[in-house]
Structures are given as C-alpha cells and as structure tokens.
Amino acid sequence: MKIIMLGAPGAGKGTQAEMISEKYGLPHVSTGDIFRANIKNGTELGKEAKKYMDAGQLVPDELTVKILLDRVAQDDCKNGYVLDGFPRTIPQAEVLDKALTELGDKVDYAINVDVPDENIINRMSGRRACVTCGATYHVVYAPTKVEGICDKCGSELILRDDDKPETVKNRLEVYHKQTQPLIEYYDKKGVLKEVDGTVDMNEVFNSIVSILA
C-alpha cells in the first residue's frame, strides 16, 4: 500500500502519516526529515536545501527526486510506505509515477488533508522544534512537559524560520501555485481521497482509516 499525503504546510499531514505508519506498519518517509538530517549534519545538500527552506521556498526537484527514490528502494519499503512532503509539484509526481511504473507499481492513495490558510498560520506560529533531535511540538496542541525544553532529549526548542508567520504566508502562496495542482492530478488518476483537517486529529485519522479499510 503506497500512500501519498497531500495538504498545505501545517495541515497536519505529517502527524497523520505517522499514525498511518504505526497502524499499518509502513515506513513514514518524510522529505522534510531527510533534508533536516542533511542540514544538521552539514552536508552540501543540506546547506543548499536550507537556503530554500529558510526563505519559505520549495527545494528544487533535482535536489529532491534522487534522495526520495533511493529511500523508497530500501528493503523496509517493499510492502509500501507513506510519503509525506513528496511529490510537491506535477513534474515530481510524473517522475515518481514513471519510476513506479518501471517497477510494475503505482500509488494506491493520495490523501488530501484540507485546512484553510488562516487555520494553518495560527497552527504553525505555535510550533516549536528541538535543535538537537528534531522533535516537534506545539505550544497549544502538543506542549512539552517543561516549557521550551524537548521531552525526548532535554534540548532547547526554537521557532523555526520556516514556521514564522511571514514565512508561512510565503509558503502557502508557493503551495497554492505549485503543489495544489496535485489534487487535480491525482483526482484524474482516481486515487484522490479528501478529509477535513480542521477537526481533532483523531477524527481526521478515523476518516483516513475508513478510506484505507
């Protein structure tokens, strides 16, 4: 079962991807996590990706496609996976489809978590990330036990540059221009499913489970 999570940045698709991963035993493949690991380790890819991410822009296809395809070719993905953060553009979707077709495979579901822009701006400005392990929290929805301190490793939490309101607005503009067309793309392929992302995350997940059942 190969699932693609769609939705604007901050719609909660990452959280849903983790829950799907846990319930169905599928790897959660997040390009954001891959990029952040590269940034933390100071790789050349990470340095280049950071320039785009800090500006609220999408990382170019050529930096994204190869690392993603290498990841899903690993053994733990042989029974399926949940893609979070990829594809972000029609050309990326076409590259992915071509690669899967060559393997005799295809995307089974593209699940769009639908949330209005104003909700997203409020959500993302409350997000906090650990500078050491990358764990994410929210000051309202998922607070830490000790304010400003990571529950997992005890390091300091920060408001990432790409979660600041002005950057979020820019990211949403980019999303509507470049990524939202994927909704129509996967609808035409007959694999698109939509869920209301404004309700409680467990309600969102129940909606997704009913789709995958």
Catalytic (active-site) positions? 13, 88, 127, 160, 171
List b or e across 184-210, with b for residues whose CB sees 16 or more CB atoms inside 10 angstroms. Answer: ebbeeeebbbbbebeeeeeebbebbee
DSSP of 155-203: PBEE--GGGSHHHHHHHHHHIIIIITHHHHHHHHTT-EEEEETTS-HHH
C-alpha 104/C-alpha 4 separation (Å) is: 18
What SS3 state is found at 93? helix
CA 178, 86, 2, 207 dihedral sign is negative
C-alpha 17/C-alpha 3 separation (Å) is: 9
> Which pair of structure tokens corresponds to residue 10?
């901050």
Residue 160: CB partners within 8 Å, gap ≥ 6?
127, 129
